[in-house]
Amino acid sequence: MMNRLTKLTLKAALLFLVTMQFSLADDGGKKTKKPNVLVILADDLGYNDVSFNGSKEIPTPNIDRIANEGVHFTNGYVSYAVCGPSRAGLITGRYQDRFGCGRNPLWAPNDINQGLALSEETIADVLGREGYKSMALGKWHLGAHEDLRPLNRGFDEFYGFLTGGHNYFPEELTLSDISKVTSQFHAYKTMMLHNNTRVKETEYVTDGLSREAAKFIENNSDEPFFMYLAYNAPHSPLQATQKYLDRFSHLEEGKRKTYCAMVSALDDGVGRVLETLEKEGIADNTIVIFLSDNGGPLKYKTDNGALREGKGSIYEGGIRVPFAMRWPNKIKAGTVYDEPVISLDIMGIAVAYANASPKNQIDGVNIVPYITGDKKGVPHDELRWRMFDKKHYAVRRGDIKYINKTNRKNGKVSQEYYDVKNDISEAKPLNLSASDKEDLQANYDSWVEQLLNPKYLGLGQDKKYTELHPNRYNTVVY
């Protein structure tokens, strides 16, 4: 007769075997695990500047792989038309005006209010509770104060820069710590930050970010991870190495040629990341999402195709972006999804498949069941945008888009309505019934009651902020 200790040992062994049975997959004995989540965010990329959206001028074979081997969203949006608020929405899964982040944060390392509100959780915070390792790379722009930096917002590792833009050539990264920054755009010259240490980058910054992304994947392929790869390309300053410029030798010298070269470098980086996933054997179980943070700025010769206007605009050119997702385990290659989706949905997807529970109610939706057809209907009844300082706002309901603009000089309000399915250029205003107009307005007004006014002065008030904070640049080293 077995003694009590032997029985307990056998029970433990049996439990272990059962656990192993459910934790081993059929593909070579690799452990099944929650999917990795990899967000690749371009900066100021034109809607028509990727091949999968029709570009004939800039080949983007690697970015195209994400769309062609997964799903291409033809109506993919971000939650704001410029980078800071758009990123705050993406990383939290919540409309950024819910927590007062409706302006582009300034470089103000002493100001804890200049950036993502501490009331908010990031995707890294939420997934971290489920055992995910996480890394943020590239452009942060969610606050330079120590408490607002990536390592204090759920990320285990960071390689990049804190401000809203950055120089690309390593020889121009001459500021060894933030105490040497003396103006808003002077911060573009800071050395790269690896966690809390300034490091000397030796490569073109886009290439350096791709290198570090590949390294993180290699070092963390055995456990679930979240990567936020926020390239600053092709955001200004327009800088490209000869290697990439030579690919466009047929173009005349100027902004467009340099811009094309920067997008090509970005595409190479995406290729390196995808190849690393393949090499590590985790591509099928990795959700890869590619998008831009807002529409392309027209002054830098970006191409938004048929979309009206560009960065900073409430029209489609400011908020509809290149958007694609690949997840071989779930999504059939060659899928095209035409219903409106938004960057907030990235959090919705991530938490659904990590079985995670955000502390705050999110606005994002798990759109995967809609893409696969397992769920009928549409992910969103309405999408909404508010640009507080411009006094512009918009609502998209189905195919109808409502735009309300106030002229800041004379206070005159104009209202416009478009069928953005059949009139992507917003060139043919509709004449809706009075009841439809009233309903759109009433729903928007109800939503606005849930929002906060911006909690900080933004990029448009740089001079005013400095006047109010004369010690703005008196900072400690790091």
Domain assignment of residue 350, yes or no:
yes
Strands 341-342 and 382-387, sheet pairing: unpaired
Which has more pLDDT, 204 or 301? 204
- The residue-averaged pLDDT of 217-225 equals 97
pLDDT tens profile 38-82: 999 999 999 999 999 999 999 999 999 999 999 999 999 999 999
pLDDT tens profile 259-287: 999 999 999 999 999 999 999 999 999 99
Q: 147 pLDDT band (50/70/90 cuts)?
A: very high
Q: Is the pLDDT of residue 12 over 50?
A: no
- 373 and 413 together in one domain: no
Report the amino acid identity of residue 42.
A
pLDDT for the residue 19: 41
pLDDT tens profile 319-334: 999 999 999 999 999 9
- The residue-averaged pLDDT of 462-468 equals 96
- The residue-averaged pLDDT of 186-211 equals 97
Is 469 one of the catalytic residues? no
Domain assignment of residue 478, yes or no:
no
- 292 and 254 together in one domain: yes
pLDDT for the residue 477: 61
Q: 10 Å Cβ neighbour count for 241?
A: 16
- The boundaries of the domain holding residue 245 are 36-381
- 329 and 399 together in one domain: no
Given 72, 83, 145, 392, the catalytic residue: 83
Domain assignment of residue 30, yes or no:
no
- 317 and 397 together in one domain: no
pLDDT tens profile 85-116: 999 999 999 999 999 999 999 999 999 999 99
d(CA 353, CA 289): 14
Domain assignment of residue 266, yes or no:
yes
What is the dihedral sign for C-alpha 58, 61, 65, 66? negative
Q: In the predicted model, what is the mean pLDDT of the chain?
A: 93
pLDDT for the residue 478: 57
- 280 and 337 together in one domain: yes
Given 72, 141, 380, 392, the catalytic residue: 141
- 96 and 244 together in one domain: yes
- 207 and 248 together in one domain: yes
- 243 and 338 together in one domain: yes
Q: 10 Å Cβ neighbour count for 171?
A: 8
- The residue-averaged pLDDT of 344-355 equals 98
pLDDT for the residue 306: 98
- 231 and 181 together in one domain: yes
- The residue-averaged pLDDT of 186-212 equals 97
d(CA 441, CA 282): 47
- Tell me, what DSSP letter sits at residue 380? -
Domain assignment of residue 31, yes or no:
no
- 189 and 228 together in one domain: yes
d(CA 316, CA 81): 9
Is 194 one of the catalytic residues? no
pLDDT for the residue 301: 87
At 293, phi and psi to the nearest 5? -75, -20
To the nearest 10°, report the CA torsion of 87, 93, 98, 101. Answer: -10
pLDDT for the residue 408: 87
Number of domains, the chain: 2
Which has more pLDDT, 387 or 13? 387
- 162 and 261 together in one domain: yes
Which has more pLDDT, 5 or 156? 156
Domain boundary among 339, 360, 381: 381
- 114 and 213 together in one domain: yes
